[in-house]
């Protein structure tokens, strides 16, 4: 496991370094063009990047959680969710229990945050919570916990910042170039080094156009690898790949868009939150591997070990697998990663009452989190009382009895 994390880190570091070089090149040539000094541009690029990185490092998770309007829950709010997270914490050997947040949104998604395993949190939408059975929930949480365990969260946040910096620099440079071009071309009137000037301009424009695209591609490459690895780890932790597979199936079939996601936060989610409204997630690639392929790989696994995933992955995609041979050899020696049976709660075909019960539980939770009081009238009606309600009693609209608040 460790070796494999390390090998993955090496690969990610190489890709990240590639992105860094791209950023420096862009800064250098823009500087050279606009101020006639490459170093100046380099420094500006580094300052912008440094500031954004600091903010992302220290406040990134708080900002992300605040922007997505996520609310922290405790064990009593939803014992099952808490238990499942704790189970995955134990299975992954994480030392500290991550915080748990819920987003009140019918869209189906989940993500992990936190710059290190001690400051980690998992977040899930109420829609997903209502939709998944215990095994599926375990698969999804296992996926998120392995993002924490493999330290993907910090890496992806840092990559997102670098990508953001490149995009911002290129964007501003394009505007400035465009407007100064309209204003008569300050640069072209400058004497000396005409040929060099043109070359620099050409390289600058080329970089402005290509850098954001290249950075995006690198970013996607990193995040896709990480998604596969998280799927593999989830299967290993739960010993039940079918759980995640069937959860992904539900995600793929869903067509609701998450309201509170944006470009930079997209790779944090289990499935891409940016598919078009009404369009299923299955045919969208970008930051996430095609969801149907992920399901296919998980279903093709003959055991729950990483080498089983690797084998299924190679069958589905051809070429090299996800983990280095040394890690797989060690993992194969464990030999104990046999698949487990589904938990007794999981029925082959879910009955309606079960679904209704889960949806009700989740909506109760959301009401409670918004400080609404619930009163059970003797006629069986549930009354929700807003926190703004000042009165001392409320009349049941169903049977007319008066209930005290």
Partner 1 sequence: MVAVYIIGGIIVILIIIFIATYNGLIGLRNQLRNAWAQIDVQLKRRHDLIPNLIETVRGYMKYERKTLEAVTKARNLAQSLASGDVGARSKAEGELSGALARLLAVAENYPDLKANQNFLALQEELTSTENKISFSRQYYNDSVLRLNNKVQMFPSNVVASMTGFKLGEFFEVTIAEEREAPKVDLT
* Catalytic sites, residue numbers: 144
Contact between 396 and partner 1 by CB under 8 A: the answer reads no
> What is the rounded CA–CA span in Å between residue 120 and residue 89?
11
Asked if residue 219 lies in contact with residue 19, where contact means CB atoms within 8 angstroms, the answer is yes
Contact between 363 and partner 1 by CB under 8 A: the answer reads no
| Closest among 230, 215, 91 to 159, alpha carbons compared | 215
Please choose, out of 21-29, 176-184, 204-212, 343-351, the segment that lies near partner 1 by the rule CB under 8 A.
343-351
Q: How many residues bind partner 1 (CB under 8 A)?
A: 25
Contact between 403 and partner 1 by CB under 8 A: the answer reads no
Question: Per-residue string for binding with partner 1, 135-164, x by CB under 8 A?
Answer: ---x--------------------------
Strands (E), 115-222: 121-125
95 or 277: whose CB is closer to partner 1?
Answer: 95
Residue 402 bridge partners (DSSP): 395
111 or 237: whose CB is closer to partner 1?
Answer: 237
> What is the rounded CA–CA span in Å between residue 209 and residue 206?
5
Please choose, out of 75-83, 180-188, 314-322, 371-379, the segment that lies near partner 1 by the rule CB under 8 A.
75-83
> What is the rounded CA–CA span in Å between residue 57 and residue 193?
43
Contact between 91 and partner 1 by CB under 8 A: the answer reads yes
Minimum CB distance to partner 1, residue 345 (Å): 7
> What is the rounded CA–CA span in Å between residue 329 and residue 344?
33
Interface of this chain with partner 1, residues 106 to 135, rule: CB under 8 A: 134
Contact between 92 and partner 1 by CB under 8 A: the answer reads yes
Contact between 237 and partner 1 by CB under 8 A: the answer reads yes
Can you read off the two tokens belonging to residue 279? 């369009």
72: part of which helix (H) or strand (E)? strand 70-73
Minimum CB distance to partner 1, residue 346 (Å): 11
Q: How many CB atoms lie within 10 A of CB 241?
A: 28
Minimum CB distance to partner 1, residue 134 (Å): 7
Whole-Å CA distances, 151 to 42, 174, 327, 369: 29, 35, 17, 30
Asked if residue 322 lies in contact with residue 313, where contact means CB atoms within 8 angstroms, the answer is yes
Q: Which of 334, 356, 379, 399 binds partner 1 (CB under 8 A)?
A: 334
Minimum CB distance to partner 1, residue 281 (Å): 28
Q: Which of 131, 149, 226, 239 binds partner 1 (CB under 8 A)?
A: 239
101: part of which helix (H) or strand (E)? strand 99-103
DSSP string for 7-37? HHHHHHHHHHHHHHHHHHHHHHHHHHHHTS-
Q: Which of 10, 59, 343, 354 binds partner 1 (CB under 8 A)?
A: 343
Minimum CB distance to partner 1, residue 323 (Å): 15
Can you read off the two tokens belonging to residue 102? 């819920």
Q: Which of 62, 72, 79, 356 binds partner 1 (CB under 8 A)?
A: 79
Minimum CB distance to partner 1, residue 307 (Å): 14
Contact between 309 and partner 1 by CB under 8 A: the answer reads no
Residue with tokens 């748990």: 100
Contact between 333 and partner 1 by CB under 8 A: the answer reads yes
Q: Which of 118, 345, 350, 371 binds partner 1 (CB under 8 A)?
A: 345
10 Å CB burial of residue 86 (0-12, 13-18, 19+) is: middle
Q: Which of 50, 93, 181, 185 binds partner 1 (CB under 8 A)?
A: 93
| Binding stretches for partner 1 (CB under 8 A) | 1, 79-80, 83-84, 86-88, 90-93, 134, 138, 237, 239, 330, 333-334, 336, 340-341, 343-345
């Amino acid at each position: 496991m460790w070796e494999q994390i390390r090998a993955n880190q090496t690969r990610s570091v190489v890709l990240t370094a590639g992105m860094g070089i791209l950023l420096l090149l862009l800064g250098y040539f823009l500087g050279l063009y606009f101020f006639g000094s490459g170093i100046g541009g380099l420094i500006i690029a580094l300052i912008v990047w440094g500031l954004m990185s600091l903010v992302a490092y220290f406040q990134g998770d708080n900002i992300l959680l605040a922007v997505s309007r996520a609310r922290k829950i405790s064990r009593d709010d939803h014992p099952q969710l808490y238990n499942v997270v704790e189970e995955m914490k134990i299975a992954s050997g994480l030392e500290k229990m991550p915080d748990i947040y819920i987003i009140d949104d019918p869209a189906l998604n989940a993500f992990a945050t936190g710059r290190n395993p001690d400051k980690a949190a998992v977040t899930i939408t109420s829609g997903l919570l209502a939709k998944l059975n215990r095994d599926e929930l375990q698969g999804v949480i296992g996926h998120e916990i392995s993002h924490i365990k493999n330290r993907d969260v910090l890496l992806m946040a840092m990559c997102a910042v670098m990508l953001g910096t490149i995009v911002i620099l290129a964007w501003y440079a394009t505007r400035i170039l465009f407007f100064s071009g309209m204003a008569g071309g300050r640069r072209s009137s400058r004497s000396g080094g005409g040929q060099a000037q043109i070359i620099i301009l050409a390289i600058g424009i080329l970089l402005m156009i290509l850098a954001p695209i290249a950075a995006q591609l690198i970013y996607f490459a990193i995040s896709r690898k990480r998604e596969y690895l998280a799927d593999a780890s989830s299967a290993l932790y739960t010993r039940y790949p079918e759980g995640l597979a069937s959860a992904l199936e539900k995600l793929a079939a869903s067509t609701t868009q998450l309201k509170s996601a944006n470009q930079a936060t997209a790779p944090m989610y289990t499935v891409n939150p940016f598919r078009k409204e009404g369009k299923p997630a299955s045919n969208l690639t970008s930051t996430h591997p095609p969801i149907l392929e992920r399901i296919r790989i998980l279903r093709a696994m003959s055991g729950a070990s990483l080498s089983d995933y690797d084998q299924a992955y190679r069958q589905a995609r051809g070429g090299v697998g996800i983990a280095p041979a040394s890690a797989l050899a060690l993992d194969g020696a464990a030999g104990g990663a046999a698949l487990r049976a589904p938990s007794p709660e999981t029925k082959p075909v879910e009955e309606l009452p079960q679904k209704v019960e889960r949806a009700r539980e989740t909506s109760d939770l959301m009401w409670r989190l918004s400080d609404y009081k619930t009163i059970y009238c003797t006629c069986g009606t549930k009354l929700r009382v807003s926190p703004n309600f000042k009165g001392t009693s409320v009349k049941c609209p169903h049977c007319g009895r008066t209930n005290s608040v």
